[in-house]
Amino acid sequence: MKITLAALMLLLSAGLSGQEGHPLRGTWHGSWGTNEKYRTPVTLVLDWDGDNITGVLNPGLRSSPIEKTSLDAAGWKFHFESNLKERTGTSVHISADAKIEDVTNPNRRLEGTWTQGGQTGDFKAVRDN
């Protein structure tokens, strides 16, 4: 009986350590650009409060709150919008549509399309552990 109880406790504790919350929660690092040569770095810090996905784009001196989000969990499609603060002091509207790739992997990825002002390009980011 002791061996069975110990095995059960080990099994349960292993399952609990694997829990990490919402698939978008965390810090994501990546870039967007109109081609592979010219890329703009992007950092997202995302959270989930139980009802909504919230976050910050490029935390730091020019951080911008993520204002609109939506998630289609059936296809793991994520949309967000923000008014990005540029170095000139002006703001430019951005929107991104991405799919969460490899959703069960701790190093999951966001891959999709980024639109900033009049430019559209691809967007890629990887979640930090």
Rg (the chain; Cα; Å): 18
pLDDT at residue 11 above 60?
no
**pLDDT tens-digit map of 88-115:** 889 999 999 999 999 999 999 999 999 9
- Interior CA angle at 46 toward 23 and 13, to 5°? 40
Q: The whole model's pTM is what? A: 0.80
**pLDDT tens-digit map of 55-64:** 999 998 889 9
And the tokens for 98?
A: 């991405």
pLDDT at residue 17 above 80?
no
Nearest-angstrom CA–CA distance, 38 and 17:
40
Query: Which residue in 127, 100, 97 sits closest to 115, CA to CA?
Result: 97
Q: What is the pLDDT of residue 99?
A: 97
Domain ranges of the chain: 22-127
Q: What is the CATH number of domain 22-127?
A: 2.40.128.20
